[in-house]
Amino acid sequence: MAEAHPVGFRWVMKAKERGATVIHVDPRFSRTSALADIWVPIRAGGDIAFLGGLIRHIIENDLFFRDYVVHFTNASCIIFETRRKAPPAFSPAGTNSNALTTRRAGSIKATG
């Protein structure tokens, strides 16, 4: 993002100055990766598996705003479906990202 959208990237850097954690998910190491707090080097095409791993980690560890999700999104069905029976330990297969990096990225709670 820093290379392609330098004007927009300044807002990311301002957020970082105010305490935001910047996570860069890209197979290539770039200037954006260098400035990010966490770089997740996933394999090209593995982004959906990585996203699924993040969502699962966030739901399993209650790292989301339950009231907002239940009342203002259609994701409440995911929350209640996941609680019934989920496959054993997620592994973002095909992402070339290790599970520890995925958990670390998923453990950062949004603040506003």
Query: CA–CA separation, 7 vs 60, rounded Å?
Result: 37
pLDDT value for 15? 93
pLDDT in tens, 71-102: 888 776 666 654 555 444 444 454 555 555 65
Mean pLDDT of 14-22: 93
Average pLDDT over every residue of 18-30: 90
Q: What is the pLDDT of residue 18?
A: 94
For the record, the structure tokens of 80 come out as: 């209640």
CA distances from residue 62 to 2, 65, 93, 105, 107 in whole angstroms, order as listed: 32, 8, 23, 14, 10
pTM of the model: 0.59
Give me the pLDDT at residue 91, please.
46
**In the chain, at which residue ranges do the beta strands (DSSP E only) sit?**
23-25, 38-40
DSSP element (H, E) containing 9: helix 6-17
Per residue in 32-66, pLDDT (tens digit) is 999 999 998 888 788 888 888 888 888 888 888 88
Distance CA 112, CA 96 (A): 31
